[in-house]
Structure 1
Amino acid sequence: MQRALNGLIGHHQKLMLKTQLRHIDFLADEIKQLDEEIKERMLPFDEDLELLDTIPGVGRRTAEQILAEIGTDMDQFPSAAHMCSWAGLSPGNNESAGKRKSGRTRKGNKELRSALVEAARAAGRTKNTYLSSQYHRLAARRGKNRAAVAVAHSILTIAYYIVKRKQPYIELGPTYYEERKRDTVIRQSIKKLESLGYKVTVESVA
């Protein structure tokens, strides 16, 4: 094994390695310069960036990309729903004879959509957050890709109100959906137990 690790590197291999390392150094310098340029251009919007950075799954770079695409003037969009539709994150409405045929999203801003979907996947990995709960709940029923698009829609909606109101993200908690749909959950649970042959009596302990 030791002899295998030593190997043989000739003149050609050394030349290629030097060339590749120089290219990596060149790219690193270019990225550094571009990062400094972006940082300088984003200075006037630092407050908005800090606010967007409070959303789970949204880091500084994603916040910069969101702001670069949607701007800071939310009055240009009639509503958050209009902005989500513009970004291509609203499901299409293909309905015939009362039947929904497709839930595919419309075409929109590909760069923004891609950034938000990545942010949604990152939000799905967070702990004890509403967005993480939403992602896993939808992923179990509709698959990870559709869940990511749905959470991306939520993130952009949140971003709309954050920039418009100049307020940080307020965490609702992982059980917000269940608490909001408490009565529905109770009815579904009773129905499920009754279908298994149980007689259910519900009493509040509060």
Structure 2
Amino acid sequence: MRVHHKVCCGIDVHKRSVTACLMWGPADQEPQSETRRFGTMSSELKQLAEWLKQAHCEVAVMESTGSYWKPVWNILEGHVRLILANAKHVRALPGEKTDNKDGKRLASLLRHGLIRPSFIPPREIRELRDLTRYRRKLLGNGAAERNRIQKILEDANIKLGSVLTDVFGVSGQRMLHALVESESIDVEQVAELAHWSS
């Protein structure tokens, strides 16, 4: 079988550890391999990156299992070319699943060019996506809080929603602050606090 990479690495990623199998050797010979285990803290993953760099590793592969691969990818990115493999495409045979075997199996598949890479956007795009997701979440939280406040007001028979188009607009916020300060406001105070009357 044709060899695509003379020095490559298969990385089996877990929550607290990664098992990396470095595989090397000429195309016409049985490859040599070395397996090492690393923790998932940044300092430990940097040791993995250094090991791969010293071994002149051309490319490393890991499975897309959960989200555990992401911090590993973020640390190794820029040190070695990375491939993320869909777990369905590189699944082990039943009864053959051990960390050492998984790393070696991934390295062997990679060595022979048998792994179809998943698309991973560049770091800047990934960061932008994370920020966009977080912003969406914050906006959703804000809407949920506004709904909760309106329900509390309705339950307390405070009908600001009946007299204002936006309870959280300038006039609405003035009225809410006045309610917090004095616990009740009358019709004249409501008119005074309305945005159009100031």
- Calculate the TM-score normalised by the size of structure 1: 0.26
- In terms of fraction of residues, the more helix-rich structure is 1
- Calculate the TM-score normalised by the size of structure 2: 0.26
- In terms of fraction of residues, the more strand-rich structure is 2
Specify the structure having the higher radius of gyration (Cα).
2
